[in-house]
Structure 1
Amino acid sequence: MLLPLEDLFNDVIAKSMRGLGLSDDALAGLSCASTEDIANAKAGKVDDYVLRKIAPHLQLEGLSLVAMAHGEWRPLPVNVSGLEQFNTTYHDMTVNAYLVWDTETKNAVAFDTGADASPMINFIQKKGLNLSLIFLTHTHGDHIQDLAKLSADGAVTTFVHEKEPCPGAKTFKLSDTEAWESGGLRIEARSTWGHSKGGITYVVSGLKHPLAIVGDAIFASSMGGGMVSYADALATNRKEIFTLPDNTVICPGHGPMTTVGEEKAHNPFYPEFQ
């Protein structure tokens, strides 16, 4: 199933304006676009000239924003042996969870639960896998909704960053626990906070391609809203995700999987790579 992009171009505009604290009037003053033009863009009207005018003042890459507005790009399909994405419905949206396993040892590790862990549990049973650990990228409700079921009421150890404790999970500090080894897999934790207080990206090695399970830090051609700190969301993504090899598969909390290389080339929030 091809998942749609999580955000539209006008979502990107709105996230940037909120993060930078810019009103329609303020952006109009900076860009010389009219407030009506800006309101129309936020409402989804595609005007290439307006988008190119406002993009620099939103610290966005104009050509990528225009391409997004015209639906001209989506990431190539990702198919990595030992990686499965599960997409479940949560209220009026969908949310992703991931299972990663070593094909020789059959050891599996889960990342988030999504709204319903049943598809993941059924997959584990069908493939004869052993779920050894669960990691939480952050504790927003859509990502941990079914933790009790997935962990069998705590029988499977779950980890979460100490800034976002939740029932049923052990907390960790990055200074104390930066990596886990589990049945042929290595899982490294990196701080990508800003969308949430303790947002974590887990970098997984042991498969054909390195993986970055990023939660809501990055989406294909977008990013999570900087609900705690927009500036730190941008900065930690740059430091911890965009420094990974270009072939690293990005596994986001919403929307399709992508790669570091594709986001460097197409994500409007990171113009320095384009």
Structure 2
Amino acid sequence: MEPYSKITFNSHEKFSDKETLQQVTYQMIDIIKKYCEPISLYCFGVQNRSSFSNTLFTNEELPQNSSWHFYLLLISDRLRSNSTANLMDLLEKDSVGRISVTLICYSPTQIKSSNNEHLHFFAKVIQSGWLVYGKPYELAKLNLTNLPDLDFEGITKYSVTRIEVAQDLIKLISHSDSPVIASTLIHTVIEQLCIGMLYAFLYYHPNHFHLNFLLKLCSLFSSAPDQFFLQNAGYSETLQKMLNTSRHDLRFRNTDIYSKNDLNVLKSICIGFSEALIPCIEERLNELKIQTK
């Protein structure tokens, strides 16, 4: 599988009978421009989800709800502190949940000073992504031309280390009776697996570590994030609580955030997630190994 082969979008998909993807994109851009001044906005993935209504009195299924999720690289000279999280929350709120984004925000200076693997990621998105707003960036101005070859051995070593860390933490989780300790370990396992996957597939270290953000990026390459977390979060208060709890909150917490029953559920989900995600990462690393020969 080639890198980015699952990062696709289809401009002919329908948001509803009356709204095309292009119209939804304009709505998204208008909302982003209310809170930020982008130089360029590149889309490197789109997902559409619809739920349908069927009754005893109709022969056809009619769209009831439809929503779009965009994966975006936003380039701007004016990025506020925590702009990634703020913009994602504001856009979903302003669109009443119809439009959501996974947003990667960088200034031109930050892109130019990135490591080689990150430069490959940015170059791929700018060259092959969908420019939805602004002017196309010249790769040379961002130091994205004549890039050295990717360090596949370094990428593999990094991702393997993330897997090893996660596996050792899972062993600790099974022996922990403290909800505070166990919840911190579970959070870290999910984070480490996601970071390992993103570096193996995208060659990218995220600059934002909220679990929802990491899982949504990983869903480009695996169904496991949706299967174990994202699809069920709306129906489970326990999952919602976990996905909305920050690492910062866990770091300083001295009271239990989950009951023991909640933790048993989360432990099971965490183990199932790791068993589904690790083989996917390892398969990708085997592909990289072949490329180094």
Normalising by structure 2, report the TM-score. Answer: 0.27
- Structure whose residues are more often helix by fraction: 2
Q: Which has the higher strand share?
A: 1
Which is greater in Rg?
2
